[in-house]
Amino acid sequence: MVKIIIWTVAVVTVLGIVLALVLYLVAKRFRVEEDPRIDEVEKAMPGANCGGCGFAGCRAFAEAAVKAPNLDNNYCPVGGNDTMAKVAAILGYEVKAKAPLVAVVRCNGTCEARPLLNRYDGFPSCNIKSTLYTGDTGCAFGCLGCGDCAAACQFGALSMDPVTGLPVVDQEKCTACGACVKACPKRIIELRPMGPRGMRMFVSCINQDKGPVAKKACANACIGCGICVKTCTHDAIVMQNNIAYIDPAKCKLCRECEAMCPTGAIHGVNFPKPLDKDAIKERIKIRQQKAKEAAAAGAATVANNKVDAPAAAPVAAAPVKAAVATTPSVAEKKVDAPSGVSPSAPAPVVANNKVDAPAGAPAANTKEGPKDE
Amino acid sequence: MGGVHPHDSKISRDCAIAQLPLAPAVYISVAQHIGAPAVPCVAVGDKVKVGQVIAEPGGFVSAFIHSSVSGTVKSIGPRADLAGRMSTHIEIAVEGDEWLEGIDTSDTLITALPEDSKATIEKIRRGGVVGLGGATFPTHVKLSPPPGSKCERLIINGCECEPYLTSDFRTLLEKGEQVVVGAAILAKVMGSVPCTIAIEENKPEAIAHIREVIAKLGYAGIEVMPMKMRYPQGGEKQLIDAVMHRQVGSGALPISVGAVVQNVCTTLAVYDAVQKNKPIVDNSVTVTGECFPKQANLLVRVGTPLRYIIDYLGGVPEEAAKIISGGPMMGRAVANLDAATVKGTGGLLFLTEKQTLRAPETHCIRCGKCADACPMGLEPFLLQKLSRVKDVEALEANAAQDCIECGCCLYSCPAHIPLLDHVRVGKGLALGAIRARAAAAKAAAEAAKAAETAKK
């Protein structure tokens, strides 16, 4: 009996040693050489594997980042600048700090503002609903309310508000991975810069219908009236396909558009004070009056300049003349651009703005419906 | 292969086709066929007559649109269709009922077949004829097979396998002569091919009547084939399989196996267009449902608002919970009663709350009933999984693009999984990928061509 046990132990031990040796040699011989930095970068990543960077998970991102010559095309929106600084330190690259982004819901068609016209009783998924028809309200562009975005969010940053029927973004939790943007069949959600102290302005509507149609469908719709475009002194708002779009790079957060919007489609969030509409309207009124007077006076001085003393300001006179000659509204803008820009050189600013105004146009939202019906 | 056997519920089968009085105004969509939308060729304020062209085709795969009433063009602009999608509609206020000169509105049967098939196809094209079985594919395109392919058999689809719908059945009974002449015209156009009129066995009166008519008119090569009752027997590819025992390949057209399929109502429209010079201005619509008191088969002018039809028949019944345009299997729920009928509108079905109830979804038990039921031989249980995770490559590999959206999978699923809903999304993804690839290939070929010419 003892003999059998001793033999067994001996055989197993010898077998173990031999196999261990074989494994060791094989591992040595067929070792896959891998850049050790990949592991390091992966460790520095948030580990959410959300795919927000465009790669299939954090490891794939790490591999791509190590291979890439620089970090220009690789950015982890979830980790943000801190993570990217760590990654850059590991790889010895430089990284440009990016403004943090946040998901913004561009629909404010609440249940109250947008009455139901029919009842959807299909599978509760926006994606499926959008393949069947335009939705249970009169608005063909707005939120469908089934919560595909909330289901897509891995960070619990999106939830459906049962009262309004719209998704709500928790900006503390939002990592701007873009999963909700991809999940929304109506392309309502947009990633926008967080803004200073979280303050940001955006048009919370993407209804491309003409004013009366949009208004009939939803009381809060952007009706494309263009008042905001006229009000904005920073040329931050463009009107395309009957929707206003605020360029976050140009917006100076003066909230004038928000105060003037007749339907309340423009939203400003995280401002310390509530919106004082009347004060802002008064301010705009005064400024416009002043602008009118100044425009009249300006025209006179330009005429004078032209006649008797062109030598006094030859550089400044030329653009001013051009501006006055083209449209009176431009002249108005020139004069009433005190906030933000230095008043000493208004004319060139106007000229620039005039040229590159449509640069920040929103991406055309022309998702076609399925053609297989 | 596949298919399900829902109760046929043809409760409006004894209602003769009646003429619906003219609505005060009609709204005619310029996008009521597959292909490019037509381009309006009338202006606001123009006086039009019944049968006058009001929109011209926007491409080869497109169709003429004719005024279905006489009156004044009131507006041309976007209007929501029954799914709420906006498309250009031409609004015409009805004044009297004056037909365009040259249209034969009499009931005389013209049995002499035209000689010139090119001229016949042109007449069909000018008549705005599209497939009225539901797909609304322009008929003249179907009748012009690509070079190298030859039609061997014409199949007239009188299956009407959708439950409830009876407009094809009534057309066969009441306009059997015209349908047979239309079939003879089509068979001649396709090169004097043999013709099969396929009718499901649940319509014995129609089978007998059409047999009688064929014997009476004496056309050679036209036969009636009674088909087994099965949904979707009237699906184009399923019908070809049943009649000719040939399978149409994935992504291929019926002509690739030598078949051309035309619906009964399309055949009637062909007769009207060729023999009577009458374009499609009306179509028969079945208005039915257990909860609907006034069953009817109505001849409705194209562009009549749905609300007008329903009000004519006594309004929406109290217990109706859902109104479906088309049959219960493939029809779409109507989200907008102000929408107007189009050429392809075949039925309005009223269902009660109980009939539309969806049972709660449970887990897939891998019973394979959906795969058994699928007439296209797909695996819906797999496709819905792939669709949920948006695996486009796998969807394409598993032929999601071949789905005909018949709904057999959903009908047969004991776990009440909304298979069709998911597969439809997957089909969209797969088709999108295929189209994107084709577009990219085209662009690359063009770029290469441009580079070559630049070199020269």
Straight-line distance from the first to the last Cα atom of chain A, in angstroms, rounded to the nearest whole number: 81
Counting one residue from A and one from B, how many pairs have CB atoms under 8 Å apart? 59
Question: Which of A269-273, A364-368, B12-16, B390-394 is predicted with the least confidence, judged by mean pLDDT?
Answer: A364-368
Nearest chain A residue (CA) to B86: A140
- Return the bridge partners of A269, or none: A200
CB-CB under 8 Å, B86 with A140 = yes
B428 vs A121, A122, A131: nearest CB: A131
Question: How many other CB atoms are found less than 10 A from the CB of residue B113?
Answer: 17
Distance CA A340, CA A252 (A): 8
Greatest mean pLDDT among A25-34, A57-66, A135-144, B177-186 = B177-186
Q: Which of residues 207-266 of B touch A (CB under 8 A)?
A: none
Same structural domain, A46 and A182? no
Residues of B in contact with A127 (CB under 8 A): 425
Choose the final residue of a domain: A248, A269, A290: A269
In a domain, A336, yes or no: no
Q: Which domain, by its residues, includes A189?
A: 101-269
Cβ within 8 Å, pair B85-A134: yes
CB B196 within 8 A of CB B153: yes
Same domain, A82 and A124: no
- Residue B112, both tokens: 């002499």
Give contacts of B 419-438 with A, CB under 8 A: 421-422, 424-425, 427-428, 431
Instruction: Tell me the shortest Cα–Cα distance from B341 to chain A, in angstroms.
Output: 15
Q: Say if residue A118 is in the same domain as residue A183.
A: yes
A256 and A126, same structural domain?
yes
Mean pLDDT over all residues of chain A? 80
Burial profile A38-75: b = 16 or more Cβ within 10 angstroms, e = fewer: bebbbebbbebbbbbbebebbbebbbbbbeeeebeebb
Q: How far off is chain B from A236, nearest CA to CA, in Å?
A: 31
CB–CB contact B335 A140 (8 Å): no
Rounded average pLDDT per 10-residue block, chain B, 456 residues = 88 92 94 91 93 92 93 92 89 92 89 89 93 88 88 93 93 94 93 93 94 92 92 92 92 91 94 93 93 92 94 91 92 90 92 89 93 94 92 93 93 94 93 94 92 86
Residue B425: which of A118, A128, A135 has the nearest Cβ?
A: A128
Instruction: Give the β-pairing of B320-325 and B332-333.
Output: antiparallel
Cβ within 8 Å, pair A125-B421: yes
CB B301 within 8 A of CB B68: yes
A149-196 tens-digit pLDDT: 999 998 899 999 999 999 999 988 898 888 999 999 999 999 999 888
Residues A105 and A193 placed together within one structural domain of the fold = yes
**What DSSP state is assigned to residue A116?**
B
CB contact under 8 A, A132 and B85: no
User: With bands split at pLDDT 50, 70 and 90, how would you rate the model's confidence at A363?
Assistant: very low
Question: Rounded to an integer, what distance in angstroms lies between the CA atom of residue B161 and that of residue B242?
Answer: 13
Task: Return the CATH number at A106.
Answer: 3.30.70.20
Rg (CA), chain A: 30
* Residue listed under structure tokens 């990219």: B440
Asked if residue B86 lies in contact with residue A241, where contact means CB atoms within 8 angstroms, the answer is no
Residues A196 and A245 in one domain: yes
Determine, for residues A140 and B356 on separate chains, whether the beta-carbon distance falls below 8 Å.
Answer: no
Q: Do B335 and A370 touch (CB under 8 A)?
A: no
Nearest residue, CB atoms, A372 vs list B83, B356, B427: B427
How far is the alpha carbon of B201 from chain A, nearest alpha carbon, in Å?
28
| Nearest-angstrom CA–CA distance, A355 and B90 | 40
Quick check: A4 pLDDT over 90?
A: yes
φ and ψ at B46, to 5 degrees?
Answer: -65, 145
Number of residues that this document lists for chain A = 373
- Cβ under 8 Å to A: B residues 6-45: 34
CB contact under 8 A, B424 and A133: no
Give DSSP secondary structure letters for B262-278. EEHHHHHHHHHHHHS--
Tokens 């202006």 identify what position?
A: B43
Domain boundary among A269, A288, A305: A269
Name A103's bridge partners: A191
Q: Do A372 and B418 touch (CB under 8 A)?
A: no
* Boundary of a domain, candidates A269, A301, A335: A269
pLDDT in the model for residue A320? 42
Q: Do B431 and A125 touch (CB under 8 A)?
A: no
Buried b vs exposed e over A194-203: b needs ≥16 C-beta within 10 Å?
A: bbeeeebbbb
Give the CA-trace dihedral at A284, A289, A290, A294, to 10 degrees.
130
Tell me the torsion sign for CA atoms A317, A319, A320, A322: positive
CA dihedral in degrees (B382, B385, B391, B394; nearest 10)? Answer: 0
Q: Closest Cα partner for A261 from A211, A217, A332, A193?
A: A211
Distances (CA, A) of A30 to A23, A26, A35, B98: 10, 6, 16, 89
Nearest chain A residue to B34 by CA distance is: A371
Min distance B421 CA to chain A CA atoms (Å)? 6
Name which of B78, B336, B418 is nearest A123 (Cβ-Cβ).
Answer: B418
Is the same domain home to A135 and A259?
yes
How close is the nearest chain B Cα to the Cα of A131, in Å? 7
Q: Name the residue with tokens 């939803």.
A: A218
Closest Cα in chain A to B353: A121
State both tokens at B38. 């037509």
**β-strands B222-227, B195-200 pairing:** parallel
Name the pairing type of β-strands B320-325 and B347-352: antiparallel
Judge if A117 and A237 occupy the same domain: yes
Do A150 and A248 lie in one domain? The reply is yes
Whether A56 maps to a domain, the answer reads: yes
Q: Is residue A309 part of a domain?
A: no
- The C-alpha of A54 sits at a distance from chain B's nearest C-alpha, in angstroms, of 15
Are A132 and B425 a contacting pair at CB < 8 A?
A: no
Q: Cβ–Cβ of B84/A140 closer than 8 Å?
A: yes
CA distance A234 to A355: 13
Best interface-test mutation with A: which of B29, B33, B85, B389 has the largest number of A CBs within 10 A? B85
SS3 at position A259: helix
Per-residue pLDDT band at A319 (split at 50, 70, 90): very low
Percent of chain A with pLDDT over 70: 80
- What CA–CA distance (Å, rounded) separates A187 from B33? 28
User: Per-residue pLDDT for A358 more than 60?
Assistant: no
Q: Is residue A282 part of a domain?
A: no
Residues 86-105 (B) with a CB less than 8 A from some CB of A = 86
Nearest CA among B409, B306, B408 for reference residue B364: B409
Q: Are residues A85 and A159 in the same domain?
A: no
Checking if the pLDDT of A322 tops 60, the result is no
**Cα separations (Å) of A159 from A110, A114, B389?**
15, 20, 21
A137: nearest Cα among B337, B336, B75: B336
Domains of chain B, with CATH numbers? 1-15+103-357 (3.40.50.11540), 369-437 (no CATH)
Three state DSSP letters for B64-111: CEECCCCEEEEEEEEEECCCCCEEEEEEEEECCCCECCCCCCCCCCCC
DSSP per residue, B112-153: PPPS-HHHHHHHHHHTT-B-TTTT--BHHHHTSPPTT----E
* Same domain flag for A62 and A125: no
Decide if A52 is inside a domain.
Answer: yes
Among the residue ranges A221-225, A277-281, A344-348, B97-101, the one predicted with the least confidence is A344-348
Say how many domains are in chain A.
Answer: 2
Same domain, A72 and A113: no
Contact assignment for B80 to A128 by CB distance below 8 Å: no
Distance from the A239 Cα atom to the nearest Cα atom in chain B, whole angstroms: 21
Quote the crossing angle between the two packed helices B176-189 and B204-217, to the nearest 10°: 60
Distance CA B25, CA B327 (A): 26
Confirm whether A327 is domain-assigned: no
C-alpha to C-alpha distances, B428 to B236, B309, B326, nearest whole angstrom: 20, 33, 21
A264 assigned to some structural domain: yes
Residue of A nearest to B83 (CA): A133
| In a domain? residue A146 | yes
H-helix or E-strand spanning residue A14: helix A2-29
pLDDT value for A362: 40
- Rounded to whole angstroms, the Cα distance separating B189 from B182 reads 11
* Chain B from 352 to 371: CB within 8 A of any A CB: 356, 358, 361
Rounded Cα distance between A350 and A343, Å, is: 11
Residue A87 belongs to a domain with what CATH number?
A: 1.10.15
